[in-house]
Amino acid sequence: MTRPSTRMSRKWIPLAIAAVASLVLTACGGSADSSSSTGGSEGVTPVSLTAVIAAPSGIAFYPPIVAQANGYFDGAIDLTVEAADGSGAGMQQLLSGQADICICSPGPALKAVEEGGDLVSVYTLYQSDVFALQTTPDSGISTAEDLRGKVIGVDSLGAGAESWLVPLMSAQGLEPGVDYEILATGPGAAPLTAFERGEIQAYAAAFIDTAVLRLRGAELIQVELPGSEIFFDAVYVMKKEFVDANPDVIKALGRGSAMATVFGASDPKAVLDIIGAQYPDEVTDMPFAEALLAETQSLYALPSSADGQWGYSVPQRHDALIAAFVSQGYLTKPVSSDFFDNEFVPDYNQFDSASLS
């Protein structure tokens, strides 16, 4: 299975927000005041870290922001969160020393490792890919083969959704223009109209697009495409030298992020209150913010192989993901899957979930 390297760009997130929800998101989310990190050992100075996220959406990357605001780093870290223009740009900030953490797609990080970067992924945030194939409950479509002779919508041709869809369908023996058609519907509510008119029978969409459609009243079900299960997204990438020298900081970072994820699942309103204080424009349209948060949280859902451990990276996916990138030509050769490190995962999960609700 192959996938063109165009999917590495995550510019679709801010573009979709601007086009669909008319949100003007701030480019930087200033860190909460260091006084919010409470509960640490008295007299211990927190380590100041800067994390860059791959798009200016606090909702889509809320765990580190909520962890800072709620003091879940236990006084060990004073975190500033800033936004980059995509994962590639965020990786450059990490490599140049402008950031300490890049919360980004694994592709650009693996590319940097191939080029000599001594990096490590210490925490997996998005346990599934940001793209999915959606259809309506009455379509009769449940498998890739059911899409033979059908029309699949995308927001625009040549963008991330199409580059995700085509190689997965090709692996099932279905080629665009021969076995099925691809139609650019436009973003926002346009796919819903295309469904209603019978112009499309399925829609390949990023999670933000799905959030918009559900907000508009669309009832959607996901079509599982074989091969898509190897893909996952946002991971915490750091320089290995720093990780090796500061294990307690890494444990605090992961534990705080895990605690914030659990907190958010039990109290989504509190998450939006925290995000709204730093990204006020992102909660101007509250129904959309709520829908986006719900879709984002679905990406955090742990696979069974994670055994309930937040931050875990599934080893079976590592080599498959790297092989896919080599096959598509994004990587010229395999890199070591040791890049994905689960060493600190048990420490991340040493907290009482019940106390966070």
Q: Looking at 165, 200, 230, which one is the last position of a domain?
A: 230
Q: Looking at 183, 212, 230, which one is the last position of a domain?
A: 230
Give one DSSP letter per residue of 236-253, joined into a string: EEEEHHHHHH-HHHHHHH
- The pLDDT value recorded for residue 43 is 57
| 185-226 pLDDT per residue, tens | 988 889 999 999 999 999 998 888 888 888 888 899 999 999
119/162 same-domain check? no
108/149 same-domain check? no
| 317-342 pLDDT per residue, tens | 999 999 888 887 889 999 999 999 99
Domain that holds residue 84: 5-128+232-356
70/167 same-domain check? no
164/48 same-domain check? no
CA distance 25 to 78: 23
202/294 same-domain check? no
Q: In what order do the strands lie in the sheet with 202-206?
A: 181-184, 151-154, 202-206, 131-135, 221-223
Evaluate if residue 98 carries a pLDDT over 90: yes
pLDDT-based confidence at residue 266 (cuts at 50, 70, 90): very high
89/174 same-domain check? no
* Cβ count near 287 (within 10 Å): 9
- The pLDDT value recorded for residue 357 is 62
116/261 same-domain check? yes
Question: What's the average model confidence in pLDDT over 251-256?
Answer: 98
198/287 same-domain check? no
Name beta bridge partners: 205. 132
28/101 same-domain check? yes
328/244 same-domain check? yes
Q: Looking at 187, 207, 230, which one is the last position of a domain?
A: 230
pLDDT-based confidence at residue 133 (cuts at 50, 70, 90): very high
pLDDT-based confidence at residue 150 (cuts at 50, 70, 90): very high
| 136-145 pLDDT per residue, tens | 999 999 999 9
* CATH number for 215: 3.40.190.10
Evaluate if residue 73 carries a pLDDT over 80: yes
217/136 same-domain check? yes
| 38-70 pLDDT per residue, tens | 334 455 689 999 999 988 889 999 999 999 999
- Scored b (16 or more CB within 10 A) or e, 313-329 reads bbeebbebbbebbbebe
Q: Which amino acid is at 196?
A: E
Give 285's DSSP letter.
S
- The pLDDT value recorded for residue 345 is 98
Specify the number of domains making up the chain: 2
pLDDT-based confidence at residue 23 (cuts at 50, 70, 90): very low
Evaluate if residue 14 carries a pLDDT over 80: no
How many alpha carbons fall within 13 Å on the CB side of residue 352? 2
225/290 same-domain check? no
Evaluate if residue 295 carries a pLDDT over 80: yes
